[in-house]
Amino acid sequence: MLRSFYGGIHPDDGKAMSRNIKIEILPAPEQVVIPMSLHVGTPCEPIVKVGDNVLLGQKIGDSKNTISAPIHASVSGTVKAVEPRLHPNGRMVMSVVIDSDGKDSFHADVAPQKEKCQSDQRAIVDIIREAGIVGMGGAAFPTHFKISSGLGKTETMIINGAECEPYITADHRIMLESPEEILSGIRYLLKAMDLNRAILAVESNKKDAVRLLREKLGEDKDIEIKVLRTRYPQGSEKQLIQSVTGRQVPPGGLPADVGYAVFNVYTAWSVNRAIEQGIPAIDRVVTVSGPGVTEPKNLRVRIGTPVSKLIEAAGGLRDNAEKIMMGGPMMGIPLFDTDVPIIKGTNAIVALTGDENRSVEAPKCIRCGRCVSVCPMNLLPIYMYLYERNDDIRSLEKLNVTDCIECGSCTYICPGRLHLVQSFRNAKAKLNAQKAKTGQA
Ligand code: SF4
Ligand code: SF4
């Protein structure tokens, strides 16, 4: 039986545009801009200066804080600037700008690490940290910290191959083109967490990947492949756990609280590459798609490549393209400048046209209750919206607005076209400001 979770929606997934298109390697650009904030947690400090010569894979940023991950040069060349540059989040963030010498000369640290982790579980965690690996499905949470903080609390590892956001096919292509590397990466993650079994969860719209992974797995029983009913937002950690195990993570809780650790398939692939070849997180696969893109593609690109180069490689934008998203149309962030760089969590660049623009001049609630029925977190979006408008912080807290995963299912389904998710982002900001004022933060 195919499993699923409470609530959710079935948006048109648009994946047919790029799911059959093989990953193409985009040549490194002449210049990369690498922000020192590429992950959730403490940003890195630059450890190179203007004029330094750097090699591909050399560490250029690091932090002493445990919730952080080092950052590496994605080209070889010369450091042109160390200064604040525009980040995809819309803020100016300290960045290292490197002019490529076109040689892609690897740093001496880039060497296979396999021998180091034959017997030592801790060595795997250290390699993952030093390789700067973060949640590559978009979450960008440092992987070494997730492993360390889940040690002793985790019973089962779940590998996320759901990729539920419309238009995005990067993980699907990785599963089709590198199934053995993914299975090997899962086994390294199992060893790092001292576990002996993982569940790889894939949605039913990727049957070709399921077939191939099962074929490569053969008779081995350490990894179970589970097929999930296609439904958005299945790839969200808490929804995935519910779909796979039937268990719910309590409000405000973490997967580790119920004994699970979730890693993305692309993270597993990156772990395998870091151990087998010693290559850190210097590039990633990005889907460039959407009705506003001329020739949708799946591209392997260097971290720090300007978004404009990816759009150019995909034949440019169509005349009716109206909005460019980093990530999918549901949870991505709108871009106002295509000169911003690709970061570690960028799984897609999606160009939308006027047809997807659901804004109306006077949004109005008709009290249909559909937002409540689709909310996968069992929240009451309509009331949260009203309380946010009235600045009723206490009621927002009582309704657990901080549990909102900003999946956009309520906004998508709302016939009154209310800007619900935006309202909940504002609500969280108001709640944080209130806590800071009263010293609760
Ligand atoms: S779905 Fe929209 S119109 Fe319906 S109750 Fe919710 S906010 Fe109101
Ligand atoms: S309230 Fe939050 S979690 Fe619930 S459907 Fe809306 S965006 Fe998703």
Domains and CATH numbers, the chain: 112-276 (3.40.50.11540), 370-437 (no CATH)
User: How much is the pLDDT for 114?
Assistant: 87
Residue with CA nearest ligand 1 atom 2:
414
Chain segment 93-124, per-residue pLDDT in tens: 999 999 999 999 999 999 999 888 877 788 99
pTM: 0.94
pLDDT for 283 beyond 80: yes
- Is the Cβ–Cβ distance between 33 and 97 less than 8 Å? yes
Model confidence at 2, pLDDT cuts 50, 70, 90, reads: low
Q: Quick check: bond before 112 cis, omega within 30?
A: no
Shortest-distance atom of ligand 2 to CA 420? 6
Examine the pLDDT at 357 and tell me if it is beyond 70.
Answer: no
The C-alpha R_g of the chain, in whole angstroms, comes to: 21
Ligand 2 binding site (Cβ under 6 Å of any ligand atom) = 374-377, 379, 381, 404-410, 420-421, 424
Beta-carbon contacts of 353 under 8 Å, excluding residues fewer than 6 positions away, are 290, 291, 292, 318, 320, 321, 322
Among residues 395, 378, 384, the alpha carbon closest in space to that of 423 is found at 384
State residue 256's pLDDT score: 86
Atom number, ligand 1, closest to the C-alpha of residue 413: 1
| Local confidence band at 360 (pLDDT 50, 70, 90 cut-offs) | low
Instruction: Give the pLDDT score at 22.
Output: 98
Band (355; pLDDT cuts 50, 70, 90): low
Question: What is residue 361's predicted lDDT score, i.e. its pLDDT?
Answer: 72
The ligand minimizing its distance to the Cα of 239 is 2
Residue 191 in this model has a pLDDT that exceeds 70: yes
Residues 342, 94: Cα–Cα separation, whole Å: 15
Residue 406 CA to ligand 1 centre (angstroms): 16
Mean pLDDT of the chain: 93
Contact (CB, 8 A) for 297 and 314: yes
